[in-house]
Amino acid sequence: MDFRCRVCDVVFQSSGTKKEYVDSIYGPCSKVVANCPTCGGESSEFRTPKQKKSSSSGAIAPCGMSPQAAGCSSCSQ
Ligand SMILES: [Zn+2]
């Protein structure tokens, strides 16, 4: 698993440990945390943002138009 320390702004790999906590809004929750190798601070899991393919339905094309929209030749390559 990848974790990211917000203090050091570094991403590191660790097996992590499960931590249970009580959220003031959602109640009992659990998350996986790991200690930063640099500062030792608690870091939460880092998930790489998924790249959306421009060809997938519903995605917004770079020009801002829907891919299904006719006449957008700048995004159809
Ligand atoms: Zn750190």
Residue range 38-58, pLDDT digits in tens: 999 999 999 877 776 655 555
Residue range 7-31, pLDDT digits in tens: 999 999 999 999 999 999 999 999 9
pLDDT at 50: 76
Query: What is the value of pTM for the model shown?
Result: 0.55
CA of 6 to the centre of ligand 1 (A): 7
CA of 22 to the centre of ligand 1 (A): 24
Instruction: Give the start-to-end residue ranges of the domains of the chain.
Output: 2-45
CA of 65 to the centre of ligand 1 (A): 41
Residue range 55-70, pLDDT digits in tens: 555 556 666 666 555 5
pLDDT at 53: 63
The three-class DSSP label of residue 2 is strand
